[in-house]
Amino acid sequence: MRLPRSAAVGLMAAVLCGSLAGCASFQELTSSSTPLLGKSSTNDPSTEPSPSVSVSVSSSAAAEKPVRASGPLDTGSVVHRVKQGAFTVTLTYWTSDNAKLYTAGSNKTLNIAAHIEDTDGKQRVTVSTFQVTQDDGAARANVRTDNGKFDVTPPYPYNTVVTLPAATAGATALTLTVRMDLLVETAPEADTYYRSTALDSLTLPLVKDGATDD
């Protein structure tokens, strides 16, 4: 049966309209940004509070005790060489004490020996003055003075023993200064002399305020 033109147009419009309504409903369902199942969590891990950190601060009272500096007589002896022009004065210091335990008030006994090197021994050398002074930074004292004429022409040495007086309370070191006034013959058997003064120093660290030796 052939429908009139106006009826056919109406039927097609109805079919098309129904189809579009179905498509619109499907698109609305599938393009929605809202999840179809379940709900989004409101507990974001990044927003959780950080655990508290406990920081321990060490007390200054726990600081290590001061350490005594090492000294030249910690091993018992030491040798110093003092160049005097054409020859050398060699000084040897030694002690039977335990120098690591020296304090300002402890007993300290040192041996000092001096001899001449780098010479043929044909010219006489004598010591006219041998002096030892002690300085603790607060006081200075004369420990020993020898005045005379002591022959140190090789192979003869000069030897002496010195006992150091108590230092100022709280002193951390002693500095010993050794002075030797030498008379050196100008030529073999000339019986004329020139004077040469040799100076040397020795520093002894002291144990103080609970310090420990190294």
pLDDT of 23 reads 47
Within 10 A of 121 (CB to CB), how many other CB atoms are there?
A: 13
Per-residue pLDDT of the chain (214 residues; tens, 9 = 90+): 555 555 444 544 444 444 444 444 444 444 444 444 445 545 555 555 555 555 554 545 445 666 788 999 999 999 999 999 999 999 999 999 999 999 999 999 999 999 999 998 899 999 999 999 999 999 999 999 999 999 999 999 999 999 999 999 999 999 999 999 999 999 999 999 999 999 999 999 999 865 555 5
- Residue 122's contacts (CB-CB under 8 Å, 6 or more residues apart) are 188
pLDDT of 15 reads 44
**Are residues 143 and 207 in contact, defined by beta-carbon separation less than 8 angstroms?**
no
Within 10 A of 53 (CB to CB), how many other CB atoms are there?
A: 5
pLDDT of 139 reads 96
pLDDT of 214 reads 57
Judge if pTM exceeds 0.75.
no
